[in-house]
Every structure is written in structure tokens, then in C-alpha cells.
Amino acid sequence: MFGNLFKKDESVKETPNQWIKCPKCTSLMFYKEVESKLNVCPKCNHHFRISADKRIESIVDEGSFVEMDATLAPVDPLKFSDKKSYKKRLEEAKAKTGKTSSVVSGSATINGQPVELAVFDFSFMGGSLGSVEGEKIVRSINRAIEKECGFIIVSASGGARMQESTYSLLQMSKTSAALNRLHQKGLPFISILTDPTMGGVSASFAMLGDIIMAEPDALIGFAGQRVIKQTVGVDLPEGFQRAEFLLEHGLIDMVVNREQMKQTLSDLFKLFNTKAG
């Protein structure tokens, strides 16, 4: 559905003496050089995909993050199996990432301002949205309401997790309803869209932010380009699912470089005048 979305792994691996080739400009660089730029290509500004842990480290105050709900883990209510069983896929994802779900959630501060956040990790089953991910997001929202602070979701997802079927799709309405409660309390929600943000994630909470920002050139949409073209039967504009195109057409509010993300978030929360600000 999403072409080669899941085939390429352009994340920067922390292996000594490894050279990194940028997939956009094809420049060859030592990985330490890329890592020092928050995993952004110093030649062309290509933003590599990064883990949830690195994402959190880049936007919150050092040592301030406290992970919550880390023990929540998916089950297999449908006994789903395709080429592999869902149970086997979960075991492989846990072994690969060391995590039990594709969302890491918790409490932190950004330049001293308290926030709650939920961050997707694309390396865990393509960052897919399942029942545990939805529950973590809702619990994070509830903590933000209790503490009267801002809330952030960083999306990096291929969409709803097909192995959970309707259980997964229900998370779209569940999280949207929780965000409405946050809105009714007058508390800010900032949605950060990274590469890729697709499917049921983009069709629900990812596009409900008071401020919706994206990283440069992030792939954002619902269905893949080929599926859309087959459905509507016309040629589509070049780069129509990229962050810059969406900004130009008013679907998102800003495109922010990774190195500027923390300061931008801090400034926005001050502007929203949260209780701590």
C-alpha cells in the first residue's frame, strides 16, 4: 500500500568506523559527523529516521524524562497470522528495539516547562497504532489534564496495525475523544509529524494539534501515492505528500528543522501560557 515505505532503513546505526551514505544527496559521511547534527545530513539537510529514545533526548531537558506505562504490552486477541503469527512479530520487534510497543510515553520538561509526551518509534512494527499505543496516548493526555500542562505527540507511523483489526481502528476515535477533553480544559496539544506519518495515525490525532509541525521532507498522508492515483485516475502533483507541499496548502502550520525543534516547542508553550509558563 505504501510502496517501499517499510523496505528501506535509513536510520543511523551506532557502529564504530561506519560510514553513512545519505539517501538523498548520496554524500558519504562518517557516522559521528551525522550524529553530531542530530542525525541530519550536513550536506543536504536530509533528516534520517531516529529512534523514540533519540527523539526524546533531542527535545526535552537532559535527565528530565520519566517514562510511564513501560510495562504495557500488546496481546493477540484475534490469534492473527499472515506469513508469521502476530505473537512472533511482537517477539521480533521487542528483540530488535528492546521495547514492548511502538510508543514511548512519559513526563519531562522543555526549558523548564512541564510537558507530557508520546513518541512513536518506527522501528517497532513500522510504528503501527495498536491498542497499547492508543492506551499509552490516552493515559498521557489524562496526565496532562491532571497536571494542567501541554501535551506532545511525535508521529512516525505507517498507520493502524492490521494484526489487531478493529481493536486498532478504535484507537483513532479513542485518542481523538481524549484530545477533545484536553481541548475543553484549554490545554495545548502540539503534533509533530516525522517521516513517515501515514494511514490511521494521520487520519486521527496527528492532524488534530493546536499546532501541527513537521520535519523537512517528511512523508505525510493517508494512502500511498500509487493507490491514490489508481483511485482518482489522474496524475498527482510532484511531492504532494511531503511536508513542504502540505505547508504551502495550509494543512500544517510549520516545517521545523530538528535542531530547532526544542526551542520552537519551548516558545510555543510559552505562547500558549501554560500553568508552568
What average pLDDT does the chain have? 92
**For residue 28, pLDDT beyond 50:** yes
Q: Could you count the other beta carbons within 10 Å of the beta carbon of residue 59?
A: 23
* Amino acid 13: pLDDT: 52
Q: Which three cell numbers stand for residue 10?
A: 535509513
Stretch 135-147: mean pLDDT, rounded?
98
Confidence label for 226 from pLDDT (cuts 50, 70 and 90): confident
Q: Which residue would you say has higher pLDDT here, 48 or 7?
A: 48
pLDDT tens figures, 149-187:
999 999 999 999 999 999 999 999 999 999 999 999 999
Instruction: Report strand pairing: 66-68 vs 103-110.
Output: antiparallel
The C-alpha atoms of residue 275 and residue 269 are separated, in whole angstroms, by 10
Q: Directed axis angle between helix 52-59 and helix 261-272, to 10°?
A: 60
Tens digit of each residue's pLDDT (9 = 90 or more) over 31-73: 899 999 999 999 999 999 999 999 999 999 999 999 999 999 9
Looking at residue 235, its pLDDT comes to 84
Residue 206 exposure: Cα atoms within 13 Å on the Cβ side: 28
Mean pLDDT over residues 212-226, rounded?
95
Question: What's the mean pLDDT in 74-87?
Answer: 94
Runs of H (alpha helix) within the chain: 31-35, 52-59, 86-97, 131-147, 165-184, 199-202, 225-232, 243-248, 261-272
Q: What is the pLDDT of residue 5?
A: 52
CA dihedral over 8, 12, 15, 18, signed as positive or negative: positive
- Beta strand 103-110 with 113-120: parallel, antiparallel or unpaired? antiparallel
